[in-house]
């Protein structure tokens, strides 16, 4: 199997050196459709593509001291294609932490094409896109969770970035739940205790037919989740082979309605945090954005105030994935608390929004 991996390396390096320009997300956002959210695994460009990956991720902001994260994932990386994973993290107010990853072969997970229903073993993600249900079953816990969207599913412009001239090389993205309410029951198996949880939730769906090393050189993201105000900003800087061309998106929701949205705006990054343990790695702590939409101008600043943690993807990946990724990239992600202030023209009048959020910065290669 290792000979296959080395062959991939030899084939991909010259291909990257002669890649074509990048087509980012373009203006013209439309409604998220069922076909957008369904798995892309059976498409010809992905079926046996070593670097194909796809996920449905859920970030929770729960009341009463609970924490949670859930991800349904499909990946071809490493031995075998079409592997499914369900990653679950859950924390209780008394400090207990539960973290599991369940793996499934391509024959152990499935989906329906006429409705949104993913089945990974005993784990299920289903329902209309604006009212999803999550059912979890693993060695640590079981859960039944219901989501009610505050903001409807949204995608940034065309929501598909094309890498080079081939339409089969792309990154596609939607927010299935920009922000929503979640409630339900989690039963922890070590103490047979049921936990009633409720709070806010955010979910995105991402598809890539290219490897992470080709998708991004760096990636800055900012997320504010609020029942009244939600702000989502992303700035991908592509590798040098694509001239560092950016893929950007920004959207502000107020009471579930879009105040402004853009995929074509200016970004300035400065005030770097320098990693004292990893040579060449740094993360800008100030992001300034500005642009114009059909509704008017907007401008804002995002400031990372405190580094809360960092993650070396090679250290946290499985052996097969680590072997492949390490040939192309050495990704590290930095997590910060942050604050923001943004001014937006609404009906010809400026309105200011400000508050706190979470800032993430990923370096694929220093």
pLDDT bucket at 320, cuts 50 / 70 / 90: low
Q: Which residues contact 347 (CB under 8 A, 6 or more apart)?
A: none
pLDDT bucket at 2, cuts 50 / 70 / 90: very low
Burial class of residue 302, CB neighbours in 10 A (0-12, 13-18, 19+): buried
CB 122 within 8 A of CB 143: no
Return d(Cα 60, Cα 66) in angstroms, integer: 9
pLDDT bucket at 294, cuts 50 / 70 / 90: confident
pTM of the predicted protein model: 0.91
* Superfamily (CATH H level) for 31-210: AttH-like domain (2.40.370.10)
pLDDT digits (tens, 9 = 90+) for 206-260: 999 999 889 999 999 999 999 999 999 999 999 999 989 999 999 999 999 999 9
pLDDT digits (tens, 9 = 90+) for 115-147: 999 999 999 999 999 999 999 999 999 999 999
**Percent of the chain at pLDDT above 70?**
90
Lowest model confidence (mean pLDDT) among 15-19, 200-204, 260-264, 315-319: 15-19
pLDDT at 147: 98
Residue 324 has pLDDT above 80, yes or no: no
Give 302-352 as a DSSP string. Answer: EEEEEEEEEEEHHHHS-HHHHHHHTTT---EEEEEEEEEEEEEEETTEEEE
Burial class of residue 347, CB neighbours in 10 A (0-12, 13-18, 19+): exposed
Indicate the helix (H) or strand (E) that contains 143.
strand 141-149
Q: Are strands 141-149 and 170-188 parallel, antiparallel or unpaired?
A: antiparallel
pLDDT at 322: 57
Residue 6 has pLDDT above 60, yes or no: no
């Amino acid at each position: 199997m290792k000979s296959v991996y080395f062959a991939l390396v030899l084939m991909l390096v010259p291909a990257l050196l002669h890649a074509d320009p990048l087509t980012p997300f373009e203006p013209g956002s439309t409604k998220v459709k069922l076909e957008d959210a369904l798995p892309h695994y059976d498409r010809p460009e992905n079926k046996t593509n070593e670097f194909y990956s796809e996920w449905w991720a859920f970030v929770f902001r729960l009341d009463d001291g609970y924490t949670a994260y859930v991800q349904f994932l499909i990946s071809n990386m490493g031995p075998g294609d079409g592997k499914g994973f369900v990653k679950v993290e859950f924390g209780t107010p008394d400090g207990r932490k539960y973290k599991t990853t369940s793996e499934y072969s391509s024959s152990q997970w499935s989906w329906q094409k006429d409705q949104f229903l993913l089945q990974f073993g005993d784990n299920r993600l289903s329902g209309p896109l604006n009212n999803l249900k999550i059912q979890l079953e693993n060695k640590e816990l079981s859960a039944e969770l219901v989501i009610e969207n505050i903001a409807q599913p949204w995608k940034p412009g065309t929501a598909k970035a094309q890498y080079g001239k081939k339409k089969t090389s792309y990154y596609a993205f939607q927010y299935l739940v920009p922000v929503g309410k979640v409630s339900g029951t989690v039963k922890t198996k070590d103490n047979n205790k049921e936990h009633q949880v409720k709070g806010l939730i955010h979910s995105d769906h991402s598809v890539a037919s290219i490897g992470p090393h080709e998708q991004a050189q760096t990636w800055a993201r900012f997320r504010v989740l609020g029942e009244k105000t939600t702000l989502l900003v992303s700035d991908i800087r592509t590798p040098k082979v694509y001239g560092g061309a950016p893929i950007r998106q920004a959207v502000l929701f107020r009471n579930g309605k879009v105040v402004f949205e853009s995929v074509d705006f200016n970004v300035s990054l400065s005030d770097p945090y320098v990693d004292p343990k990893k040579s060449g790695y740094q993360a800008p702590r100030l992001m300034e954005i500005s642009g114009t939409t059909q509704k008017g101008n907007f401008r804002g600043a995002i400031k990372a105030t405190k580094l809360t943690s960092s993650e070396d993807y090679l250290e946290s990946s499985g052996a097969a994935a680590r072997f492949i990724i390490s040939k192309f990239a050495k990704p590290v992600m930095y997590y910060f608390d942050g604050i923001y202030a943004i001014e937006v023209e609404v009906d010809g009048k400026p309105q200011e929004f400000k508050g706190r959020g979470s800032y993430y910065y990923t370096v694929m290669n220093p």
